[in-house]
Amino acid sequence: MAEKTLRDAFHETLKDVYYAEKQSVRALKKAAKAAEAPELKQAFATHAEESANHVERLVQVFELLGKPARAKTCEAMQGITAEMEEDLEEFGGSEAADHVLVGCAQAVEHYEIARYGLLKSWAGKLGMAEAARLLGETLEEEKRTDALLSKLADALPFSDAEPAGEAADEAATPAPRAKAKSRA
């Protein structure tokens, strides 16, 4: 068996990200449909289109590597998208739904940022300047999307109502005792 190389690791990770990015497009389309806030709907729809372009860039990187564009199941992305499905079922239609969607989308973005950063670095080490440029372009778009999601999350409305559990906890906690005055 031949010893594995950085080029092999690059190719395997590229297949993983190719799968992840295709899943991301599907997840973002679902998120756009489920989101209530118009700005959030638009951000998800726009990033779904951008992610479709990321898939095309990955195809270009495969071509630069001289390999066919093939996906390898990405367990991490399967987990993140499964969690999103669960969260949509549990929180869909609630006040927390958009907040939860942002959290799920940022989990996707953070995974992709980590992978694109790694691939860009490896492409540079392998002397693949054009691949590094393409991967870097996608990396910057993922970072911008993450920053936009953070901004949108901060702007999402929420109720000031205190959860019953915290109010009950505070009521059960005795008030601090006043210090007794010392008599001298």
Q: Does residue 147 surpass a pLDDT of 50?
A: yes
Structure confidence at residue 164 as a pLDDT band (50, 70, 90) = low
pLDDT tens, residue by residue, 40-64: 999 999 999 999 999 999 999 999 9
pLDDT tens, residue by residue, 71-91: 999 999 999 999 999 998 998
pLDDT score of 183: 43
| Arithmetic mean of pLDDT over the chain | 88
* CATH superfamily, domain at 6-156: Ferritin, core subunit, four-helix bundle (1.20.1260.10)
Distance CA 153, CA 174 (A): 36
Q: Where are the domains of the chain?
A: 6-156
pTM of this structure: 0.83
pLDDT tens, residue by residue, 12-33: 999 999 999 999 999 999 999 9
Rounded (10°) CA dihedral 141, 147, 150, 154: -130
Amino acid in position 129: A
101 contact partners, CB below 8 Å, separation of at least 6: 31, 34, 35, 40, 44, 84, 87, 88
